[in-house]
Structure 1
Amino acid sequence: MSIKDSVADRIDVRVLAIVLIVSIVEFEVFVIPKGTTRLAGQDAWLSILLGSAIIAVNTFFLVKLTSRFPQENFFEFSAKVWGKPLSIVIWLGYLSYWLIFLSFLLQDFNVVNETFFVREANPAIAVVLFALGAVWVVVYGFAAVIRLLQMLAPFLVLPLIFVAILQASHIRLENFQPVLAGGVMPVLKGAVLFAGFWQGLEVLLFIGPFLNKPGQALKPALAGVGLLTLLALVQTVNVIGVLGIEHIEVAIWPGFNAMSAISFPGFPVERYELFLTLPWIVAIFTTLCVFLYLFSFGIIQALQIPYRKLVVLLCAAVAVGASLLFPNYALKVQYFDALTVTTIVFVLLIPSLTLMLAVIRKKEGRDVE
């Protein structure tokens, strides 16, 4: 029950911040303002601040749980903590959750590709080629995925910073008034929803065996979470300030609409929303690699299958098939709300309960040699 390449290539623990940023940031970062403003209105930025506190506390629990079993991933030590029967149920739950998320992610890619790149392309061919690129990376193991995340991080983060700067000059402060007009409850609901957008944070449960110093993972993990929160906060503030609540409610991708609304007279660029296309594709691809690794290697580990290339390819094929079953994008958007609630269960609730039970039962793994 061990992933063999976990001891072959150790990763500097300081890289963890970049890993979290590139793993978690995906397509939904551009629609966070729509979800939070739907519940909290113009106070969505307060929901993000409150939700970030929830995520920071949860990150602390995740790191503590990982450092308690430094040479094992979650699938390995969950059997010790929960017992074999319950751990099998938990494994199946995580595998199902990752498969659903992968299908959503590939559906997002399909929509972005048709909207901005090749509108006449066959959806199946485009998604298959995109998934094959992820397969080519994942078959080499998690260390290879981490190296890719490091290389692509600048192409994701720098354009988002540039976009935030462009939007900041068009913010209208009156769009944030009045503060707390609906009371505190909408802000609390928005904070819970924001916590549900953090798909990918559970990578902390599986990265421990690859870190050279897993006991020192807390600071870089919190740094990565803090930077992600800042990106989400800036994105939400800019979108509310540029568009206003009324326009956000009818927009499908508020971040895109906010870029379409800005203009700089005399500047040679007219369509500023095109600056979002590169980070969109990078974010979707990197997150696809991470979740395809978790899904396929989770199956390999649980079933002790020696043919990992074949398993990765088959898992990618299942995810592609599932993504093509969606009749339209509107249905995917509706189902994503349910996935948000599921994320709270698998990323916040189960790991916290596992840590609590491990402490009560005095379960812990051996230290890194």
Structure 2
Amino acid sequence: MTKLSQGYPGKTFFEYGGDIVGKWLSALISLFFIGHFVMIGAFEARIMAEVIGFFLLEGTPLWAIIMTTIWVTFYAIKDGMGSIARLAEIIFPITVIIFLTIVFLSSSIFELDNLRPVLGKGIMPVFKGTKATVLSFISAEVMVFLLAFMKKPEKGVKVVVVGLTISLVFYLIIVIFVIGTLSVDGVVTRTWPTLDLMRSFEIPGLIFERFETFLLVIWIMQLFATFSISYFTASLGLSQLFGKNISPVMFGLLPLMYLIAMTPKNLNHVFAFGDVVGRIAVILFGLVPIPLLLISKMKKKKAKT
């Protein structure tokens, strides 16, 4: 996706897609991309509402939390990509600090034996388990539009590799410490095992004794950031595709994302919805960009000759 966008500096896929596969097919692919960003945005809004409702605002209706989240996000992104970039700059160092705090505090109750035996049933269960991780890594598809806003797009590949590596390291360490502390049997019976990890220890005498509060803060911030990016990308795509101003498009997406977010009846349906979004993302952003890149290179090579 990044290499594809690097061939069209200053443009998003919604603008340069027609140069590769023609106007109508490009519009169809763009609508699928936009639909994905709408769904992932609605999913993030619903998950955020579930977490806030369960841990912080017990008894508050989901619709109230989701509506508030969507309107606050609209305010945050209405000025464009600069606001989202500054939001990410604020969130990242806070994430690192809280993450390191979690690792340090949980090391006192970590049991290495809970991780054994490694690959006790062979490698195949590991491959089967990767399906559940797809949703955690699908945010990389923002590169179909993000490269157009970069000052140095030639460093796009490096940015993606570094970004995914940081995410991979974070996830890997969290998984190791959660299983090492709660054990496999303990993890599979919990809905929010990472938060339960933070609840499993306390240090009396400190100002703060409920350390899961810190994790909730950063978790909600991360969800909000992901929702903001998805919301903005979907709005930008529709505005560029139909040649409209982005502000009315943002307003138009508000009720649509709210309705999608409210569709799942319970938390199990929410997780099932997330699995569907992840599978669709594999096809849309794992397979589709490859032929587009090949067609683009062939067309440019033909134009030179």
Distance in 2 (alpha carbons) for counterparts of 1:208 and 1:103: 24
Alpha-carbon shift at residue 265 of structure 1 (Å): 6.0
2:7 to 64, 68, 74: 68
Q: Conserved in 1, the CA contact under 8 Å of 2:91 and 2:218?
A: no
How many residue pairs end up in the alignment? 303
Equivalent residue, structure 2, for 1:184:
123
Q: How does 1:34-53 map to 2 (within 5 A)?
A: none
| 1:331 corresponds to | 269
Corresponding residue for 1:104? 43
The alpha-carbon distance between structure 1 residues 187 and 364, as it changes in their structure 2 partners (threshold 3 A), is farther
1:139 maps to which of 58, 78, 88: 78
Give, as a single letter, the amino acid of the residue that structure 2 aligns with 1:65.
L
Matched, 1:166 2:87: no
Whether 1:314 and 2:243 are equivalent positions in the alignment is no
Distance 1:287 1:194, change over 3 A: same
The 3 A distance-change label for structure 1 pair 142 and 364 is farther
State whether residues 10 and 148 of structure 2, in contact with CA within 8 Å, keep that contact through their aligned partners in structure 1: yes
Looking at structure 1, the residues matched to 221 and 25 of structure 2 have their Cα atoms a distance apart, in angstroms, of 37
- The answer for the alignment partner of 1:283 in structure 2 is 222
Query: 2:298 and 2:110 mapped to 1: Cα distance?
Result: 51
1:3 match = none
The whole-number CA distance in structure 1 between the counterparts of 2:301 and 2:261 is 39
Distance 2:154 2:130 in 1: 29
Give unpaired runs (5+ residues) of structure 2: none
Q: Pick from 315, 318, 342: which aligns with 2:280?
A: 342
Residue identity matched to 1:324: M
The answer on 1:251 being equivalent to 2:251 is no
Given the two structures, how large is their TM-score scaled by the length of structure 1? 0.76
Superimposed CA distance per residue, residues 294-350 of structure 1 (whole angstroms, 9 cap, x where no aligned partner): 1111111111113x2221122122111221232212211122222221121223222
Cα 1:363–1:214 shift into 2, 3 Å: farther
Deviation, structure 1 residue 193? 4.0
Match of 2:178, as an amino acid?
Answer: V
Report the Cα offset of residue 288 of structure 1: 1.2
User: Which runs of structure 2 are paired with 1:1-369 in the superposition (5 Å)?
Assistant: 62-264=1-203, 269-306=208-245, 308-362=246-300
Gaps of 5+ in 1: 1-61
Residues 213-245 of structure 1, C-alpha deviations (whole Å, 9 max, x = no match): 211222233222211111011111111101111
Give, in angstroms, the shift of residue 164 of structure 1.
Answer: 2.1
Alignment CA distance shift 1:300-1:118 (3 Å): same
d(CA) in 1 for partners of 2:268 and 2:68?
A: 24
Deviations 1:184-220 (A, max 9, x none): 1112233454344312211112112211121122223
**Separation in 1 of the partners of 2:302 and 2:255?**
37
Residues 17-52 of structure 1 deviation map (CA, whole Å, 9 limit, x = unaligned): xxxxxxxxxxxxxxxxxxxxxxxxxxxxxxxxxxxx
Deviation at 1:182, TM superposition (A): 1.4
| Counterpart in the other structure of 1:42 | none
Q: Secondary structure at the match of 1:200?
A: helix
For the 8 Å contact 2:41–2:257, the answer to whether it is kept is yes
Rate the CA distance shift 1:192–1:124 in 2: closer, same or farther, 3 A. Answer: closer
Q: Distance in 2 between matches of 1:66 and 1:237?
A: 36
Between the aligned partners of 2:113 and 2:68, the Cα distance in structure 1 is 46
**What's the RMSD between the two structures over aligned residues?**
2.1
CA contact (8 A) 2:46 2:262 kept: yes
2:98 touches 2:214 (CA, 8 Å); kept in 1?
yes
TM, length-normalised to structure 2: 0.91
Identity rate, percent: 23
Matches of 1:251 and 1:339 in 2, distance apart? 22
Contact 2:43 / 2:261 at 8 angstroms: preserved in 1? yes
Q: 1:241 to 1:364 in 2, by over 3 A?
A: farther
Distance 1:87 1:363, change over 3 A: farther
Segment drifting more, 353-362 vs 210-219 = 353-362
Report the AA paired with residue 254 of structure 2: A
Cα separation, partners in 2 of 1:141 and 1:172, compared to 1, 3 Å: same
Q: Distance in 2 between matches of 1:99 and 1:363?
A: 35
Superposed CA deviations along residues 113-157 of structure 1, whole A, max 9, x for unmatched, are: 212222232322222121111111222112222122212322333
- What's the secondary structure of 2:117's corresponding residue? coil
